[in-house]
Each structure stands twice: as C-alpha cells, then as structure tokens.
Amino acid sequence: MLTTRMWIKIIRTLCAIMLAVPFLTGCWDRLEIEERAVVLGVSIDKVNMETAEKEEDEISHLRGTIPTPEKGMVRVAVQIALPGRIPLGPGESGGGGGGSVGKTVWVIDVVGHSLDDAIMNLQQQVSSKLFFGHLRVIVISEAVARNGLENINDYFRRNSEVRRMAWMMVAKGQARKLMLAAPPLERVPTLYLMSTLDEGIRMGKFPKDYIGIFWSNVSKKGQEGFLPYVEIKKEENVEIKGLAYFVGDQMVGVTKPLEIAGYLGIKGINPAGYRVFVQLSNPEQTIMTTATHRRSKIKVQIKDGIPHFTIDMGIELNVEGKLSDEIQINNPEVLRMIEEKQTEDAVKSYYKLIKDSQEKGSDYFGFGEIVRAKKPHYWNKRIKTAEEWGKMYRNCTFDIKVTLKVRRIGMKGV
Amino acid sequence: METRQITVIQAAAVLVSTIIGVGVLALPLFAVRAADSGGPLVTFMAMLLAFVGLSLVTWLGMRFPNETIIHYSERIIGKWLAWIGSLFIIIFFAVLTSLTAREFGEVVVTSVLKSTPVEVTVIVMLLLAAISTRHGITTFAHIHTFYFPFLLVPALVIAALSLKNAEVINLLPIWGNEPGGMLKGTLTIAALFQGAFVLTAVIPSMKHPGKAMKASFWGMLVAGGLYVIIVAATISVFGSEEIKKLLWPTLELAKATSLPANILERMDAAFLAVWVTAVFTTLFSSYFFTIYSMSHLFRLKEHKLFSYFILPFVFVMAMVPQNIIQMYEIIENVGRIGLIITIAYPGLLLIVSILRKKRGNPVADNKNVDQNH
C-alpha cells in the first residue's frame, strides 16, 4: 500500500518535470554561436540609381513595384566577424602574423532601397542569421548624411539588439573604405575605429557622442545632433576631421578639427587635450600650449525678446614648446603675455564657431535646451518647437568671456 | 485555519513587490507624455493619489480587522450591492492579471525570445503564478518578502549607474514645458499602483492590524520612491523628447548603462532577469487576490480549487489584444476604470461605514487569534 502510494507520488513528480522541461529549454530561440553572423560594423553609401537597380535582386519586392525613393538607393557594407578567427589574447596564433582584414572579418556589400531593404538583401546572401548585438561602428558617407538619416535612425532604434553605446560617424568620401581598412594596431578593424574615438574621449579630443546620445540630441527641441567626421588616411589610419552637425536628421555642415576644441571648451568638457599655437609678437616668438582643464558656465537672459547668452569659460594651460630661443620663458610677465594673446585668439575662434553654427541654424551646443529649462515661460510663449528654435537661434546674441591661466612649463627652465 | 502571522515589514514588502511590476518599463513614457520634463513630478503626484486610495483601504481594513473587503462590504452596504461591488473587484483583478501576463509576453517576444510564441511565455508565467497560489496567505507574504530585496537593489543600482550619463538640464523645468496632460498622466500612473489593493486581503491575517497604516505608508514610500527615481533617471539620461520615441524607456536605460570598467557593457539582460521576478510577484499578487476573493465571495474554506479553474479564462483574456498598441490602449483604459474600483469604491464604503457607525470586532493584539471566517 505504502509502496503504491510512493510510486504514484514519484510518477506524479516525474510527470510534472516532464511537462516543465519543454518550456524551460528555450529551444525556440536556440542559436548556436557559430550559426550567427556577428556584425561588427556597418557602412552606408549612396549609389548610382541605374547601376544599383540592376544589381539589386528581387528579394523584398519585385522590380518596378516599389518606386525608387527620392533620396536614392544605398550601398550597405557590413563587417562580419569570422567565428574562431578573432584572437582573444596577445599570445594566440593566427592573429599575430597577418592581421589583415581577410583574416578576422569578412566584408560584404549589397545595395537596397533603404537600409532595411539592403540588410534583407544581405541576409539572402549570407547563410547564418545576422546578429547586431555586437555592432560597434556605423559609418555613413557624407552624401547619405546630407540626405538625411531618418530611415537609418529608425532602423537602428527599432532593432532591439543594437546598443546605444555604438558609435555612428560620418565619413568624408566613401564610407565603405572604412570597413575595408585594416590598420595593423588592432586585429579587428572596427575595434580600431571605435578605439580612435574612445581614446579621443579620454585624451580630451572628442566629446562623448555615442549613437544613443546623438539620438537624444536630435530629438531634443532645443538642440541639434552632431557626429564625428572622419577621414581615412593613406596608411589606413583614421583622422577625426571635425564635427558633422545636423539640423533635424540632415547634416548641414562640418567643423575643423581644432574647432572640436572650441566645442569642448564652450561645453566645459574635461579632460582637456588640445594643443594650439600662440604667436606673440613676431612669427619667431611662437609658442605651443596644451589645455589641461576646462570649465564653462552658460547663462541666459532674454533681451528684447531674444535670448542672450553669457558664456564664462576658464581654461588652464601648460606650455609645451617654442619655435626658437628668441623668447625666454623665465618670468611671469611672459606667461601673462601668452595668456593675453591666447585669450584674444580663443575668444575670436569661439565667436566664429558659434557664428558658423548660427548661419546654418544648427544649435548643436544645446543653447536652446538652456532656454527651455531656465526660461520656460519665454519658451512656451515664443518657441515651443524645434523649428522655431532653429529660426530664433540665428538671431541669438552671445557674450564670451575667457580666462586662461598658464600653470606649468614642463621640465625645462627657460 | 491559518493564524495571524504577517508582520508589518512583510505587509510592506507585499505592497512594494506587488506595485513594482511590468509597469516600470513603460512608466517613463507615460510620465513624459503627461508633462515632458515634469515627469518625476507627475509620478510623485500619482504616488500621492495612490497613497490616498491605499489609506482609505487601510482605514477600512483597520475598522474591520477580521474581514476582507468582500465580507465587510456586505455588512456596510447590504448583501446585494456588495455582491456587485465584489464581482467587479474580482473581474478587475482577473483582467489585471491577464494584462500583466500579456504585457510581459510582449516585452519578452520583442526584445529577448523573438521566435518563442507569445502564448508560451504568457502561459508559463500564468502557470507559475497558479502553482504558487495554492498556498495560504502566510506563504504568500513570505514569498513576497523573499523577493523584495531582489527587486529593489538591482533597480536602484541600475538607476544609480545610469546617472553617469545624466544631465540635470533635462529635468528642468520641473513642472514641464507643456503640462497639459498632467491630470490624465497622474491617473494613468496612479493606475500602476493599483496592485496595492491586495492589502485588503492581507490585513485580516496581520499580527497587528492596527499597524496596517504603517505598512501601507512604508510600502507606498518605497515603491513610489523607486518609481520617481526611475523616471527621474530615465529623463535625465535621455531627455523627454527622446523618451517619447521609445516604447520601453526603462529597458533602454538599462541598455545604455554599463557597469564600471565595462564588466557588463549593457545591463538590459541583467535588468530583464530582475524584471521577470518583479512581474512574477505582481502577477502572483493579482492572481492570488482574484481567487482569494472568489473563495470569500462564495464562502468557501479554500481558495486552492480556483487556482487552475480561472487559468483558462485569464489566458484567453490575455490573448484578446490584437497588437501591442491596442494592448497599451486597453491597459491605460482598464487602469483608469480600475481607479474607480480601487479608490472610489472603498472611499464610498468608508463614508457609509462611518455614517452607519459600522465597525468590526476588535482584535486582541499580541495574541494569535484564529482567523474569523
């Protein structure tokens, strides 16, 4: 009697376990790591319509049924990691010697009517499922950026695998070249691209501008987005050439590399890391200084119905070098001269930077957000929308005060 | 029958883990739609409103410390009227259960298990809740107390870590630029606190029902505080305009947050794991409350027999919304209707009970008294 009862009990539990097993395994979404194509980087270029139409197969739609979009078709190149080829440690064989693109990643390109369409066409050509969870870098050619990023932003926002910490950048010329480049420093090319910018942040050469931050800035009513503007150099290295700034999701202009320092200064972002030439009285008396610390305070007043901003900046400097011995850096007077001269130059360059952005109507500094936050009555009455702010921004006035201090001169006494 | 064993801390834990549930994912979106940068303020007001509702319920519970709302409502407004009221409460909580399960299923199918049918995720979650409800109310309180720290700590950690990318300017002005939808938003968010109504079932089993108000105060403070923190963190990181474009801003926040030194570069997986627990406790509460009230309505000794009985009904209801947008519409509407059931109805009961000078038998404190059925 007792044993039967025990048996019933055992069978009961077994049944329960058996019933639970199919639910717990998660078999529906099983995807072995070697069965997924891990996409590390994506580049997007504009293509010639006629050739592209011919090149595209009838995958997501039949030829002729969908009119080609006004903004033109795109060529999308992806960098797919080859499973097992990416060396994990420095000592591992395989990556050490060659290190060229063909070894660790595979670059394929397709054309499509939109980004999504192109990815669909690509999936038709690649056996394993494309996986965007490790997507680190999205490169967009300048032509595409100037056409507008609506479709591209929409695709990446909607895709749940894409990280908000990925980088999006605008390339001068062809974006695909950046996918093909194989700088010898990093074994995975996209990681090199990424570290160029990540290190840039750490050295004070570039603001934090991950794709998520860019999206937030684009959405804000009182701010426009900006992206790093990069160019590939002859040794397949990458130069940060400036900030590509936007109005809405259309790129409208680009700054010079030194003007990134201006942006960082106005925003007071630390650490500081730009070096500049300061010419004192004649070309021989030229000194190079490096910024070490920035601070900035932006205040807003409404003057005659137009926002007026007062920017109070402070930058600390070190002397880095001089061109000739004509000038002796041995008394405070000289340092004071350097400070004065550089302040003059800096103020001029800040005004110019802001003026350029005003001409384009692109407030990528976020002055509008300050108005929205600090002067809500004014904002609600006069501005309200991003378009209105774009118009108002052109008329805003600025007052820039800069305090520069030279603190150190390095290990040399004079 | 079970003895009175639930302590104040346990009751508060029940409240917190019941309130924190699926709602956290969409919460900042609701708040921002109401009053853009004023989101935290809206959430805070919703918390106050919900606290008013909960204190009405608690007050009632303290007047009738031996009975659940199903029983004392009969004594206050008469058998038939009370029967209708109780029926509404039961139906409402059954609907709430099914919507919670469905919302859970939708999140999972969109962001994690893309090929798993949504029916499977929903039924697994409901089964889990159904199995857990086959115990008494003391076990119910213990389960909640056990999971309580697992909900609170990770959520706070994520909110704290995300502040690395925060900008204070996104939170200004604190009342928002377009505070037109403030009232509607307050109601929508207050609806997320409705699970707290389970307190009506917990009070009759509390060791000291006289301290129920303390439990509801702390429960509301912790849960509401966490909600305000989450909304504030999300808005300060993304800015209100960006949140309007996101379906689940809190999940997006976890995605944008990394552990220091990049141990984990994105926390959404970790966050979802915590969130599953949060959903389970919420689902468990509303499911338990549904069948517990049913058993009281029909004057049954045990609620166990209903635990599988209502499963198919709840499941079918969960499958009613045709798509995710419709589902959120239904959730918002049901939530606002629910406020009548969980705030207005007990308010009415309280007024009538005061007017008619109705009162339950006091409980001899400090002693374990058998529960009165």
Q: Which residues does A300 contact at the CB level (< 8 Å), separation at least 6?
A: A307, A308, A309, A310, A367, A370, A371, A374, A375
Q: Do B172 and A221 touch (CB under 8 A)?
A: no
What amino acid is encoded at B39 in this protein? G
Residue B10 and residue B141 in contact, taking contact as beta carbons nearer than 8 Å? yes
Residue A1 has pLDDT above 80, yes or no: no
Which class for A104: exposed (0-12), middle (13-18), buried (19 or more C-beta within 10 A)?
A: buried
Q: Do B245 and A380 touch (CB under 8 A)?
A: no
**Residues of chain A neighbouring B249 (CB-CB closer than 8 A):** none
Of A165, A221, A374, the CB nearest to B241: A221
Residue B288 and residue B131 in contact, taking contact as beta carbons nearer than 8 Å? no
Question: Which residues, given as ranges, of chain B have pLDDT below 50?
Answer: 1, 366-373
Of B37, B111, B113, the CB nearest to A28: B113
- Identify the band that residue A87 occupies on the pLDDT scale cut at 50, 70 and 90: low
Of B111, B116, B177, the CB nearest to A160: B111
Residue A110 DSSP code: E
Question: CA A246, A250, A254, A257 torsion: positive or negative?
Answer: positive
Residues of B with CB under 8 A from a CB of A: 37, 110-117, 120, 124, 165, 169-170, 172-173, 175, 177-178, 237-239, 241-242, 244-246, 252, 255-256, 258, 265-266
CATH number 1.20.1740.10 given to B8-348: yes
The pLDDT of residue A22 is: 67
The pLDDT of residue B285 is: 93
Question: CA B321, B323, B324, B329 torsion: positive or negative?
Answer: negative
pTM of the model: 0.88
Question: CA A285, A288, A294, A298 torsion: positive or negative?
Answer: positive
Average pLDDT over residues A348-362: 90
**Residues of chain B neighbouring A28 (CB-CB closer than 8 A):** 113, 115-117, 120
Domain A257-408 carries which CATH code?
Answer: 3.30.300.210
Tens digits of per-residue pLDDT, A107-137?
Answer: 888 888 888 888 988 988 888 888 888 888 9
For chain A, domain boundaries: 33-254, 257-408
Of A160, A163, A219, the CB nearest to B239: A219
Question: A207 — phi, psi (to 5°)?
Answer: -75, 160
**Residues of chain B neighbouring A29 (CB-CB closer than 8 A):** 112-116
Residue A12 has pLDDT above 90, yes or no: no
The pLDDT of residue B371 is: 46
Residue B174 DSSP code: T
Q: What's the rounded Cα separation, in Å, for the pair A12 and B104? A: 30
| For A212, nearest residue in chain B (alpha carbons) | B256
Residues of chain A above pLDDT 70, percent: 93
Q: What's the rounded Cα separation, in Å, for the pair A311 and A293? A: 16
Q: What's the rounded Cα separation, in Å, for the pair A147 and A186? A: 32
Chain B nearest-CA distance from A9, in A, is 17
Chain A nearest-CA distance from B56, in A, is 37
**Residues of chain B neighbouring A379 (CB-CB closer than 8 A):** 177
**Residues of chain A neighbouring B116 (CB-CB closer than 8 A):** 26, 28-29
Q: Do A26 and B113 touch (CB under 8 A)?
A: yes
Between A186 and B80, name the one with better pLDDT.
B80
The pLDDT of residue B372 is: 44
Q: What ipTM was estimated for this complex?
A: 0.84
**Residues of chain A neighbouring B110 (CB-CB closer than 8 A):** 160
Residue from A342, A297, A346, A300 nearest A319 by CA: A342
Q: Do A373 and B113 touch (CB under 8 A)?
A: no
Residue B343 DSSP code: I
Residue B254 and residue B274 in contact, taking contact as beta carbons nearer than 8 Å? no
**Residues of chain A neighbouring B170 (CB-CB closer than 8 A):** 369, 373
The pLDDT of residue A23 is: 65
Q: Do A374 and B165 touch (CB under 8 A)?
A: no
